[in-house]
Chain A
Amino acid sequence: MTQRKRLSNVQNSSQSKRQSNSFMTQEEDEDATFTQPSTSQVQRGLEKLTPAQVDQKTAEVVQYILVKDQKKIPVRRADLVKHVVKDYRTVYPEIIKRAMRTFEQVFGLKLVEIDSKNHMYVLVNNLDASTARPSPVERPSNPKMGLLFVILSVIFMKGGVVRENLIWNTLKKLRVDPGQRHEEFGDVRKVITDEFVRQRYLEYVRIPHTEPVEYEFRWGQRSDMEVSRAQILEFMGQLHEQDPRSWTQQYREAHSAATASSSQASSSNHR
């Protein structure tokens, strides 16, 4: 693996210049402690370090992200730089690029920046779940995913934004009451409005001009990356015994997949 990396490093050195250039122009730096190094700085930094050192640092970054992703809370660039990259910050873009490549080639995961303003990364499965065969390892299912699925489906079918009361009422019909302690989920309100929001599965936004204060739910940035609207619609069709196409608006939204996900992501950033 390292040998391959060294070879590819030599081959791609010219490519890396071009790539880090585009990488640079895309993001404005908001982080006070970390300034994105310029391309020439990166090049100079790379010259000073041996390939083995850069590989080592990449491996550390990969391991850090893997462990941090256990809780599904996005990894902040500031934390990454402070705790792992440290002195190698001059070659940070190169390290991230290699880490992304490692994730893709070794683990079949994708390291995605879900928030270009605050620089947060999440790991998403690169393999297509719907066509994948059932996993050979019996993994216990997480019931919170079921809960999240219900909320996301309702939001999606209702056009992308939903008042919190609708969600609470729907959940009450499913025997999940935010006022009571649920035997599977515990403090339901906390799980939904705090945990899922911190994991960026949901957005919990205050509706302006409401008295008393009310909130609305939207899809979070992680959901935009991870969740397939088309699959949700399929499941809806199965449940209601209807053709998914009968929900024309949602169907259109789900199947203009590329444009839908990117537009959602950009619009959520502007909010």
Chain B
Amino acid sequence: MVSIKKQNKTGKQCKQSDFCPRVAEWTWKPLEKLSVAFKQSLFCSRLEMRKARAGGDDEAVRQNGSSSRRRTDQHPGDGEDHDSSSGGVQDDDDDNDLGLRREIRSKYRDLINSVQQNREDMLSPSNNKLTEVLEEANKLFKDVRQAREAALDAQLLVVATDLGKEKASQLFSEGSAFDPTAFAEHLLSFMGLNRLEDEDDEPPNGCAGDGYLPKDAWHRLARRAECCFRTAPSFHYMMGSFYTEPPPPKQRIERQRKAPSKEAKRIMPTQLKKMEESHQEATEKEVERILGYLKSYYQDDPSPISYYEFVIDPNSFSRTVENIFHTSFLIRDGLARLKLDSDKLPCIEPVEEGELEAAGSFSRKQCIVSISPKIWRELIDVFEIKETIIQPPETQSE
């Protein structure tokens, strides 16, 4: 940069040499990476330009006439006719021509933009657009007098050499070339693409082309690719580990369930109690009623009553069983007494009021009474029981 300034101050043209001082040291490094062939072509073109200019303006015009167009065009690598022909315009007069300065700067910027925008285009090995850009830059450079323009020129050169490096890297592959598009096609076939004809329903992953990729397409590829990887298997416990997530939801569910069930329970007990009370009442009433029968019978005839005659109801087996059940309460409570008479048959008699307390001190004897319909009929026949002593209850609430 400094050397350029000096030259411009003296107003001399830049000297011709193989190694143009424009190519400042800090742009040389990218160039080093270019292939030799490309480097040579780059400098050859520069040398030619310089020789051509030295030789006369006409040659320069002829060389670039075909590619030159209007300045307003964005087409890459183009400059204006009158610039190349203005080989004679030089020196101190231009230093102060602001219009020309601006023009040069804007042209440089155009060139830089064109290189950046049309990168793909320039990279294509089929054209020499990059060389044309550089030739254009060469032409512009001879009018450069100030540092600003030189800076733009250097920037253009950096961009161009980056592109050049990439272009050179395209020369990298010897042997057969690798085409990513073909690769993609082969991969799709490998992954099991169903190349159906387009029907009415759109394929779910159809952004490009036809065909339907199966769900496990990538899994298939991953499995095949596993042999290329030396991945360490991930560490995991064989039996898994404790889960930390489920408990919170479970608690919520439990709480929700508890609330209705409590209410239900609250309802239930009241109902049940009523039921139980009715049961108990019924039983107690029955027991008392039977006690009444027993006492009234005993009053008529103060001898012990045959147990069987007392409880059996010849009309109904089930009522007989109920009678036995209720009678057992009387005996349990000490309100009646069972004993064996002279015939070894059980008989029942009520306990006197005064003997009630003493009854509690008696040792308790327990026995289990069992009866079956057959026995019941036998008893009826043996004892010739015609009618029941204990009348059936009026309300049939069971």
Contact = CB atoms under 8 A, between A and B. Distances in A.
A115 interface: no
Interface in B139-166: 158-159, 162
Secondary structure class of chain B's binding surface, majority of residues: helix
A150 B364 CA distance: 96
A248 interface: yes
Contacts of B236: 70
Contacts of B227: 129-130, 231
B193 to A, nearest CB: 9
Given A141-B226, A142-B222, A124 B207 contact: no
Interface string A140-184: 011111110110011001110100001001101111010010011
Interface in A75-105: none
Contacts, number: 146
A69 B234 contact: yes
A209 interface: yes
Contacts of A139: 233
Interface in A208-258: 208-211, 225-228, 231-232, 235-236, 239-240, 242, 246-251
A180 B68 CA distance: 44
Contacts of A239: 183, 186-187, 190
A42 interface: no
Contacts of A32: none
Given A141-B226, A145-B226, A149-B228, A172 B207 contact: yes
What range describes how many residues of B lie at the interface? 35 or more
A154 B207 CA distance: 22
B172 interface: yes
B206 to A, nearest CB: 8
Contacts of A141: 219, 222-223, 226
B342 interface: no
What range describes how many residues of A lie at the interface? 35 or more
Interface string B166-185: 00010011111010111111
B116 interface: yes
B190 A146 contact: no
A7 interface: no
A146 B219 contact: yes
A56 interface: no
B80 to A, nearest CB: 25
B54 interface: no
10 contacts: A72-B231, A127-B230, A128-B230, A145-B229, A146-B218, A146-B219, A146-B221, A173-B181, A226-B231, A250-B175
Interface of B: 116, 158-159, 162, 169, 172-176, 178, 180-188, 190, 204-209, 213, 218-236
